[in-house]
């Protein structure tokens, strides 16, 4: 329609919308009337639906009750007449065709008028009649012009697109859209023809299939998504004639094997066969239908297709589905999203008594040694050792809890390469929930976000407080952990200056803290490092003390055994007094006997200190009489260096335990037994792991 002259109101807008329709499933045949007003002034807008066949030629309005018209205004090209009967008749030489609208401005003697209206066609027939009452909105909307329409389903940033991008005449195509108002209905038009009503999902996304009309002359066609308030998004395309070539081969859509479980942050490869050069839509969604992601790809000329699909690290644990569609058929696959943690070890029971033996089992990184440290309920390190992990990745070991142990919640820490794991169990009581905080690294640059990894009870709320080195609170915050009990908390560096900080977390009775630094560097000047004793026994805790000439510097401390193997590497720093302390190292129970070395380094500055580890020099050694056996053949197993009972567990190449033997060693640590290979033992390679509760070792053999 042409331009119009109306009074704009920019204070409190009062609005109401009336929808008139004979359809139940869509708003395709409606005339939509919107009234907006302020005080005694009102703007009345009539929108003629694209799906209507009639054009509006005349509009009549009148008021209910004691109210009267004082004046009115029309758009350019329209005329109005206020009759003695109190009816204003608006007429124009230009009709309001389907898809167009017209606005009228009126003033009344009283506020909030009830406006009755009729829309009439050129033959004098009533298209629609109804009434609308102005109602007061609860919110102010300053500086908004009357041309603004209600955003019921379509927003300013709503978008949609087609697959393929330019569909041909008389062909199927898919519509993908996002940023619509969730859970609302939209009408889809092709040109002036209503096609279908679709429902926006809970994430504001749409996905549906339609068919282009039979176009003869490569005409430009409008594709419209419209909500019940008349807001629209339009794509205008020139529809070309379909190529009359016949596809040489229509191939049935297929997908190859897919894993049952996927890890967060993992990329899975989807591949299969489809009609050559056809376009595929791959949709990832939750079981309730909420769309997570939509990808479009094209099959090759040979019909093969492939997609590398990233499983988001932020995805909730549980089941998701993936639909692969070519527009005619759809293949659905389900996946279980699991944690990306590489160390998954568990205690067999949640609670033990002092004197019990705790059995641990699970999986870890195959072929890599793993260090374990057990802390009691007061945070003291009471046990540590190294465990050999075979090719299967299967982990199975025991720890004896001393009879004099304190009761409470115990935490087992597992370290393997750069990965860490935690196992919690109770001694004398059920374990309490724990809260673990750890920075992703010790030192952060001045312009770098600080990242703190937090682990606790799934979906729990955690209170955080940040303290500087002068024990001053810098800020506090509350966060919610994810469904797997994990969260990475980020701190804006603009809030902090150079220094050392401690962040503390609390949930109920559970607490945890972590220390990090900002803006520290290496280069300490002279370094002095030492221990409080010169000799230690296996399993004994070591306190390392030191100082540096410069304050607030980073140090790299390595603890090396007599064979030159680095047993532990610790990143630390000297404080504002130039002092550093390491109190979280315990000599492993299976430590090498001899002279150990502590190397402390900061830039080009370094210092070393030696101490002696004493103890039983025996190692756990296991032997078998040969490497290869037949079924029903006898195997002779011998060994030395054992403490008390030795557990022998045999695993096949898949990591499944197939047998277990228990042997009692002599006072000198020797053990031996004869084992008959079962007759039903399948040919293949096997691994035997010996464990006496303190040490373990393994050996492999083959059954032919």
3-state SS string over 606-673?
EEEEEEEEECCCCCCEEEECCCEECCCCEEEEEEECCCCEEEEEEECCCCCEEEEEEEECCCCCCEEE
For the chain, the average pLDDT equals 84
pLDDT bracket for residue 30 (50, 70, 90): low
3 state DSSP class of 171: coil
Please state which of the ranges 8-22, 414-428, 505-519, 557-571 shows the lowest mean pLDDT. Answer: 8-22
Give the span between the Cα atoms of 341 and 677, in whole angstroms. Answer: 37
Kindly report, residue by residue over 565-596, the tens digit of the pLDDT: 888 889 999 999 999 999 888 888 778 878 89
Q: How many residues are given for the chain?
A: 704
Residue 352 has pLDDT above 90, yes or no: yes
Residue 1 has pLDDT above 60, yes or no: no
Name the one residue in this structure whose structure tokens are 């190397």.
Answer: 599
Residue 101 has pLDDT above 90, yes or no: no
Name the one residue in this structure whose structure tokens are 């002068």.
Answer: 470
3 state DSSP class of 493: helix
- 316 vs 179, more confident: 179
pLDDT bracket for residue 615 (50, 70, 90): low
> Which tokens go with 151?
């955003």
Q: What is the pLDDT of residue 5?
A: 38
pLDDT bracket for residue 509 (50, 70, 90): confident
Q: What is the pLDDT of residue 463?
A: 95
Distances (CA, A) of 545 to 453, 470, 548, 557, 605: 27, 21, 11, 11, 17
Between vectors from CA 426 to CA 421 and to CA 427, what angle results, nearest 5°? 125
Kindly report, residue by residue over 35-89, the tens digit of the pLDDT: 777 778 888 888 887 777 888 999 999 998 888 998 898 888 888 888 888 999 9
Rounded to an integer, what is the distance from CA 493 to the centroid of its chain? 24
Give the span between the Cα atoms of 281 and 323, in whole angstroms. Answer: 8
pLDDT bracket for residue 628 (50, 70, 90): very high
β-strand pairing of 394-400 with 628-629: unpaired
Give the span between the Cα atoms of 12 and 6, in whole angstroms. Answer: 17
Residue 593: how many CB atoms within 10 A of its CB? 16
3 state DSSP class of 194: strand
Q: Where are the beta strands (DSSP E) in 27-77?
A: 31-38, 41-48, 56-63, 69-74
Residue 245 has pLDDT above 80, yes or no: no
Q: Where are the beta strands (DSSP E) in 179-303?
A: 185-190, 193-199, 206-211, 220-226, 232-238, 254-255, 261-263, 267-273, 279-285, 291-298
Q: What is the pLDDT of residue 361?
A: 92
Q: What is the pLDDT of residue 249?
A: 62
Distances (CA, A) of 43 to 66, 117, 348: 20, 13, 73
Kindly report, residue by residue over 407-427, the tens digit of the pLDDT: 999 999 898 876 788 899 999
> Which tokens go with 662?
């228990």
Phi, psi for 93 (deg, rounded to 5): -75, -20
> Which tokens go with 113?
């008028």
Give the span between the Cα atoms of 609 and 545, in whole angstroms. Answer: 11
Give the span between the Cα atoms of 456 and 349, in whole angstroms. Answer: 19
Domains of the chain plus CATH, in order, are 14-133 (2.60.40.290), 159-238 (2.60.40.10), 254-338 (2.60.40.1930), 344-427 (2.60.40.1930), 436-518 (2.60.40.10), 527-614 (2.60.40.1930), 621-703 (2.60.40.1930)
- 398 vs 508, more confident: 398
Checking phi first, is residue 109 left (phi over 0); if not, alpha (psi -120 to 50) or beta? Answer: alpha
Kindly report, residue by residue over 134-151, the tens digit of the pLDDT: 655 444 443 333 344 445
> Which tokens go with 161?
């697109």
Checking phi first, is residue 552 left (phi over 0); if not, alpha (psi -120 to 50) or beta? Answer: left
Whether 584 and 544 have beta carbons less than 8 Å apart is answered as no
Mean pLDDT of 22-38: 59
Residue 343 has pLDDT above 90, yes or no: no
Residue 481 has pLDDT above 70, yes or no: yes
pLDDT bracket for residue 521 (50, 70, 90): very high
Mean pLDDT of 219-245: 78
Percent of residues, the chain, with pLDDT higher than 70:
89
* Nearby residues of 137 by Cβ (< 8 Å), 6 or more positions away: 12, 13, 14, 15
pLDDT bracket for residue 250 (50, 70, 90): confident
Whether 703 and 629 have beta carbons less than 8 Å apart is answered as yes
Percent of residues, the chain, with pLDDT higher than 90:
33
Residue 12 has pLDDT above 50, yes or no: no
Residue 617 has pLDDT above 70, yes or no: no
Give the span between the Cα atoms of 51 and 26, in whole angstroms. Answer: 10
Residue 247 has pLDDT above 50, yes or no: no
DSSP class of residue 208? E
* Nearby residues of 119 by Cβ (< 8 Å), 6 or more positions away: 31, 46, 48, 56, 58, 59, 126, 127, 128, 129
DSSP class of residue 99? T
- 572 vs 25, more confident: 572
Residue 295 has pLDDT above 70, yes or no: yes
Whether 652 and 684 have beta carbons less than 8 Å apart is answered as yes
pLDDT bracket for residue 660 (50, 70, 90): very high
Whether 54 and 121 have beta carbons less than 8 Å apart is answered as yes
Residue 401 has pLDDT above 90, yes or no: yes
pTM reported for the whole predicted model: 0.43
Q: Which residues pair with 254 in a beta bridge?
A: 273
Phi, psi for 273 (deg, rounded to 5): -125, 145
Give the span between the Cα atoms of 466 and 462, in whole angstroms. Answer: 13
């Amino acid at each position: 329609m042409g331009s119009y002259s109306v009074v704009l109101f920019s204070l409190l807008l009062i609005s109401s919308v009336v929808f008139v329709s004979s359809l139940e499933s869509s708003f395709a045949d409606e005339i939509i009337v919107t009234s907006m007003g302020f005080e005694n002034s009102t703007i009345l807008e009539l929108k003629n639906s694209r799906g209507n066949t009639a054009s509006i030629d005349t509009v009549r309005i009148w008021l209910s009750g004691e109210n009267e018209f004082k004046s009115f205004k029309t758009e350019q090209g329209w005329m109005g007449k206020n009759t003695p009967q109190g009816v204003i008749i608006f007429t124009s030489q230009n009709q309001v065709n389907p898809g167009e609208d017209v606005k009228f401005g009126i003033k009344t003697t009283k506020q909030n008028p009830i406006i009755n209206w009729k829309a009439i066609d050129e033959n004098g027939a009533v298209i629609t009649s109804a009434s609308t009452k102005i109602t007061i909105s609860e919110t102010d909307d300053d500086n908004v012009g009357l041309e603004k329409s209600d955003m019921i389903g379509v927003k300013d940033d709503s978008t949609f697109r087609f697959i393929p991008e330019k569909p041909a005449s008389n062909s199927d195509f898919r519509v993908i859209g996002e940023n619509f108002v969730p859970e609302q209905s939209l009408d889809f038009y092709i040109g002036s023809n209503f096609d279908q009503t679709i429902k926006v999902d809970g994430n504001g996304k749409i996905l549906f299939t339609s068919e282009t009309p039979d176009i003869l002359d490569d005409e430009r066609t409008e594709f419209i998504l419209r909500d019940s308030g008349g807001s629209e998004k339009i794509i205008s395309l020139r529809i070309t004639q379909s190529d009359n070539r016949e596809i040489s081969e229509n191939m049935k859509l297929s997908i190859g094997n897919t894993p049952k479980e996927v890890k967060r942050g993992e990329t899975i490869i989807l591949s299969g066969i489809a009609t050559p050069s056809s376009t595929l839509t791959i949709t990832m969604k939750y079981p309730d239908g909420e769309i997570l992601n939509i990808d479009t790809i094209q099959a090759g000329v040979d019909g093969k297709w492939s997609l590398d699909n990233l499983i988001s690290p932020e995805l909730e644990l549980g089941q998701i589905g993936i639909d692969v569609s070519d527009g005619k058929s759809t293949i659905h696959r389900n996946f279980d999203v699991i944690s990306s943690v590489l160390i998954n070890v568990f205690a067999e029971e949640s609670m033990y008594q002092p004197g019990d033996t705790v059995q641990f089992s699970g999986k870890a990184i195959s072929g890599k040694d793993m260090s374990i440290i057990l802390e009691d309920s007061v945070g003291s390190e009471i046990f540590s050792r190294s465990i050999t992990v075979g090719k299967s990745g299967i982990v199975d070991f025991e720890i004896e809890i001393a009879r004099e142990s304190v009761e409470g919640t115990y935490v087992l820490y597992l370290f393997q390469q750069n990965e860490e794991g935690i196992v919690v169990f109770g001694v004398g009581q059920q374990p309490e929930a724990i809260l673990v905080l750890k920075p992703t690294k010790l030192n952060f640059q001045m312009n770098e976000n600080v990242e703190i990894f937090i682990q606790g009870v799934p979906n729990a709320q955690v209170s955080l407080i940040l303290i500087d080195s002068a024990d001053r609170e810098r800020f506090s915050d509350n966060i919610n952990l994810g469904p797997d009990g994990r969260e990475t908390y980020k701190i804006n560096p603009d809030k902090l200056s150079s220094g050392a900080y401690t962040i503390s977390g609390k949930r109920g009775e559970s607490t945890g803290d972590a220390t990090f630094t900002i803006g520290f560097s290496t280069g300490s000047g002279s370094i002095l490092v030492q221990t409080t004793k010169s000799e230690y026994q296996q399993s004994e805790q070591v306190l390392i003390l030191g100082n540096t000439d410069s304050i607030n510097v980073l140090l790299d401390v390595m603890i090396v055994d007599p064979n030159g193997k680095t047993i532990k590497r610790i990143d630390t720093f000297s404080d504002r007094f130039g002092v550093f302390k390491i109190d979280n190292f315990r000599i492993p129970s299976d430590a090498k006997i001899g002279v150990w070395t502590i190397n402390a380094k900061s830039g080009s500055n370094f210092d070393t200190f030696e101490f002696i580890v004493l103890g039983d020099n025996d190692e756990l050694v296991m032997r078998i009489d040969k490497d290869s056996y037949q079924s029903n053949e006898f195997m002779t197993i011998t060994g030395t260096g054992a403490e008390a009972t030795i557990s022998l567990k045999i695993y096949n190449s898949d990591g499944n335990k197939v047998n277990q033997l228990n042997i009692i060693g002599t006072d000198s640590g020797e053990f031996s037994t004869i084992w008959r290979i079962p007759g039903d033992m399948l040919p293949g390679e096997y691994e035997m792991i010996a464990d006496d509760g303190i040490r373990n070792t393994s050996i492999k053999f083959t059954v032919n």
